[in-house]
């Protein structure tokens, strides 16, 4: 249950909280000069926290079961456009990793801040599976390779069919072209019936993809792992996710073996203005 508390001794009656609440949960009764909570509206609260965030007096507190702590970050200002632009343009899909493992505290630091990635109706539905043991990552890759062998053997039409023999051959010669030797695999998952689970997880993983380089980490979207898991109930089950939950997508993460120095070209901007 969501609890919205307004400290009447702090409220200045500015009505900003009322203006931003999408469900008219906060009101100002006739004859009153401070905001109050409509008890009939609390059930519709999406826990977005806009009311508490916009309050200049810090008079509003929103709490709910399962809520984590609020990050304590001190900064003079947001990153500049140039700083953020360079970060995004220099981000590369990393397919060569050092064997050095990433400290658990570092991974937790990233995951803790991407809790703030936007989700549909603020459902906060994204959950995480971290395969932190490199041997377990390779065990999963071995399962993907076996799935690939069976697919090639079947002769079925599949978009990956042109590259699967190459990937299998590389594996047989000691090279991992599935997770590229990444020491860890981060998998975003959600309930199978969540209509926005895929989008929520994709947005969260994109945030992870951008944040990781700030801690000298590299990432790469694990598309073949996801395709294999969706095609193989056994592989999906091997992840050990809670009942009725499915993997949405995976991402390799680790320390890059090589450093990129230049920004590559991309297609020129294409946009329709109306």
- Cβ–Cβ < 8 Å for 119, 125: yes
Predicted confidence at residue 75, as pLDDT, reads 73
Q: What is the CATH code of the structural domain delimited by 3-63?
A: 3.30.70.20
127 bridge partner residues? 189
Predicted confidence at residue 74, as pLDDT, reads 72
> Vertex 206, ends 68 and 196: CA angle to 5°?
70
Cα-Cα-Cα-Cα torsion 197, 133, 227, 149, nearest 10 degrees, comes to: -160
Residues of the chain with CATH 3.40.109.10: 90-254
Residues of the chain with CATH 3.30.70.20: 3-63
> Vertex 41, ends 40 and 46: CA angle to 5°?
145
Other beta carbons within 10 angstroms of residue 61's beta carbon come to 14
Question: What mean pLDDT, rounded, does the chain reach?
Answer: 95
The CB-side HSE value for 20 (13 A sphere, CA atoms) comes to 14
Question: What percent of the chain is predicted at pLDDT more than 70?
Answer: 100
- Cβ–Cβ < 8 Å for 183, 251: no
- Cβ–Cβ < 8 Å for 13, 33: yes
- Beta-carbon contacts of 151 under 8 Å, excluding residues fewer than 6 positions away, are 158, 160, 161, 164, 231
Other beta carbons within 10 angstroms of residue 241's beta carbon come to 19
**What's 90-254's CATH class?**
alpha beta
* H/E segment holding residue 254: strand 245-254
Per-residue pLDDT, averaged over 223-249, amounts to 97
pLDDT in tens, 118-167: 999 999 999 999 999 999 999 999 999 999 999 999 999 999 999 999 99
CA distances from 155 to 80, 160, 161, 178 (A): 52, 12, 9, 21
Write down the pTM of the prediction: 0.92
pLDDT in tens, 63-81: 999 999 988 877 778 899 9
Rounded to 5 degrees, what are φ and ψ at 71? -60, 145
pLDDT in tens, 187-222: 999 999 999 999 999 999 999 999 999 999 999 999
Other beta carbons within 10 angstroms of residue 236's beta carbon come to 17
Predicted confidence at residue 77, as pLDDT, reads 82
């Amino acid at each position: 249950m969501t609890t919205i508390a307004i400290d009447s001794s702090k409220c200045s009656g500015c009505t900003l909280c009322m203006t931003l609440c999408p469900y008219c949960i906060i009101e100002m009764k006739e004859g009153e000069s401070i905001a109050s909570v409509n008890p009939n509206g609390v059930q519709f609260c999406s826990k977005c926290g806009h009311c508490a965030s916009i309050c200049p007096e810090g008079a509003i507190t929103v709490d709910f079961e399962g809520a984590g702590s609020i990050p304590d970050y001190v900064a003079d200002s947001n990153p500049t456009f140039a700083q953020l632009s360079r970060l995004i343009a220099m981000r590369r899909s990393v397919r060569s990793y050092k064997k050095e493992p990433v400290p658990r505290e570092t991974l937790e630091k990233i995951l803790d801040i991407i809790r703030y990635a936007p989700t549909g109706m603020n459902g906060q539905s994204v959950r995480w599976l971290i395969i932190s043991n490199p041997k377990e990552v390779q065990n999963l890759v071995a399962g993907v390779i076996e799935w690939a062998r069976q697919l090639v053997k079947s002769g079925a039409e599949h978009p990956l069919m042109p590259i699967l023999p190459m990937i299998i051959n590389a594996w047989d010669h000691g090279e991992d072209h599935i997770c590229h030797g990444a020491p860890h695999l981060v998998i975003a998952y959600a309930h199978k019936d969540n209509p926005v689970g895929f989008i929520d997880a994709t947005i969260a993983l994109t945030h992870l993809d951008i944040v990781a380089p700030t801690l000298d980490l590299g990432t790469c979207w694990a598309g073949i792992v996801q395709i294999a898991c969706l095609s193989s109930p056994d592989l999906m089950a091997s992840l050990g996710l809670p009942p009725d939950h499915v993997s949405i997508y995976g991402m390799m993460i680790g320390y890059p073996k090589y450093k990129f120095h230049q920004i590559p070209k991309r297609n020129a901007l294409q946009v329709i203005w109306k």
